[in-house]
Amino acid sequence: MKTGAIQRLRKKLSADEAVYGLWITLESASISEMAVALGLDWIVIDAEHGHLDWKDILEHIRATVRSETVALVRIAELNVGLIKRALDIGADGVVVPWIETAEQLDRAIAFARYPPEGSRGIGAERATGWGQCVIQHTQEANEHVLVIPIIETVTAGRNIQQISQCIGSELFFFGPADYSSTAGFRGQWEGPGVAAQLQKIKNTLVERGKHCGVIATTHDNLIARRREGFRMLGLGVDSGMLLRSLHATLDAVGQDRRILPTLVPDLTMPLPRPPEPLRPDRIEMITAPGTAPQFELAAGIAFDCQVGNHNGARDLTTGLVTFEPSAQLPYHTHPFTESVTVLEGALHFAVEGREYLLTSLDNVVVPRGFAHTAWNAAASSRTKVHVALATNKPVRDLVSTSFARRVMPNDSTGVPLKERVTRFSLATRCGDVGPGASFIDFCNKDLVPGIEMSGGYALFQPGGRLPAHVHDFDESICIVQGTATCVVEGRRYSMADCATALQPRGRVHYFINEGQDPMAMIWYYAGPTPKRIVVNEHCATAEGDPWRA
């Protein structure tokens, strides 16, 4: 046990300084030597997951001898034998997974302490200098040993008030992925609502004078976690950091590949460059609300055109429509499909007399030729909607025909071969579009036969993204929640607050959520099939731009 290193770590934390470390999963002790040489405050040697045996763990601990880097061992489970063994071979503390109750944490603390405070036996191992330093070690061990529980389940979150009152544990590590899994979002780092729950748990612990830790996922995430109040900050996992570096280097030469669960090389990779016939003739356009043409559709109804003829779009117009209180559009038809999604407030929408009440993120699609109207029934609040039209030259024909009113049920999904209504709360989510991303389809040729466009809603969790890709048609992407990073052939754009991107046919692009909160978009293609051509990631960089002259 390196008492001086532990005291230094605690001194930093008590001064509200961050302490940085590395998660060790690979067997080479050289990794721990590098951590020591770089002055990291701590390492965690992972004996819960992976393949490290006790000899590997011992070599990592030895690499930190005579340093100020605290060596911790994450044991496989709450077990007295595992805790004793980790500490006997010289670990400065243990990280204990799956702690859900105060009673479990009290047991872990007792297992790590010598009697009478605990139940740790005295051995003639490294911790006691092979029996030569029994008195010195046993007199200081109980006071300095670190017992760090991992909060990684919903149950632990519910019990955090009681857990936080345990005496003998001042550091708590968080496991967002396992917490997400217990919350019903298996496979996600921070599923919907999980980030907010973890922040609340962290705040509870901090109020009790505890310090909280977490592994960062990116450089920006590291800074953000520190800003949020986490103080035990993992720079990453050794294997993950190595793979990120390998991917980046391979990507720079156009040879990046996926790793398959079989660990057999993916022979379909590297992905190709875009087909030459898709060579674009226009640049992407990013438009913020209020900076594009404005039109009055009717008294109290304004259209803020984001994508359309004015910025070179082909077969597609999208924008934001604001309904003032009690404002109504007259009945009309279009010679093209229209799709409407509610962003704020509520919208009454009727097609040939069939009346639907639409609320947040509900969508209605009206094929060409069907008469429809919309209005804001609220007397004192506005309604804002996103509108997409399958044309770059919008026109409408007013309709004088009267229709018998028929109020449709609140769970109605429309009338087959006529209008289609997507209720956001009931819609089917597709989760195989990209890591950390899920989609809801509003319209395409399979959902609405004869339609000219396709589109829907996408939700990106922190870190969620799409692969680099191109389309054989123009695309409109409106960011309706959070902040998105849009990358187009090396050009990066930050988008939020309903900013809209026009991605012309053939431009290599992708979207990624680099923030800490979920990001959502509404997207439309100027084509009836939501098809994308995934290309090599290198093509989305300035160096790999496939369309350079």
Gap between the Cα atoms of 350 and 306, Å rounded: 25
The DSSP bridge pattern shows strands 519-525 and 475-481 to be: antiparallel
SS3 207: helix
Q: Take residue 376 and report the two structure tokens written for it.
A: 């804001």
What percent of the chain is predicted at pLDDT more than 90?
86
What pLDDT is recorded for position 452? 96
- Check whether 269 has a pLDDT greater than 70: no
Residue 187 pLDDT level (bands cut at 50, 70, 90): confident
User: Per-residue pLDDT for 76 more than 70?
Assistant: yes
* Largest pairwise CA distance in the chain: 100
Backbone angles phi, psi at 45, to 5 degrees: -95, 120
Whether residue 549 has pLDDT greater than 80: no
Q: Domains in the chain, please, with CATH?
A: 3-238 (3.20.20.60), 278-540 (2.60.120.10)
Using one digit for the tens of pLDDT, what is the confidence trace for 530-542? Answer: 899 998 888 898 8
* Rg from Cα positions in the chain: 29
Cα–Cα distance for residue pair 186/189, rounded to 1 Å: 8
Average pLDDT, stretch 52-76?
A: 97
What tokens were used for 119? 């139940």
Q: What is the pTM of this model?
A: 0.58
* Mean of pLDDT over the chain: 94
CA distance 26 to 32: 10
| pLDDT digit string, tens, across residues 93-105 | 999 999 999 999 9
pLDDT-based confidence at residue 270 (cuts at 50, 70, 90): low
User: Tell me, what's the pLDDT at 288?
Assistant: 95
pLDDT above 70 covers a percentage of the chain that reads 98
**Rounded distance, CA 180 to CA 157, Å?**
12
Structure tokens at 366: 């009206």
pLDDT tens for residues 419-465? Answer: 999 999 999 888 767 788 999 999 999 999 999 999 999 999 999 99
Please say if the pLDDT value at position 267 is more than 70: no
Q: Which residues in 251-300 belong to E strands, given as ranges?
A: 285-287, 294-298
- Convert the pLDDT of each residue in 310-360 to its tens digit: 999 999 999 999 999 999 999 999 999 999 999 999 999 999 999 999 999
- Tell me which residue has tokens 């003639």: 124
Orientation angle between helical segments 3-14 and 134-144, nearest 10 degrees:
20
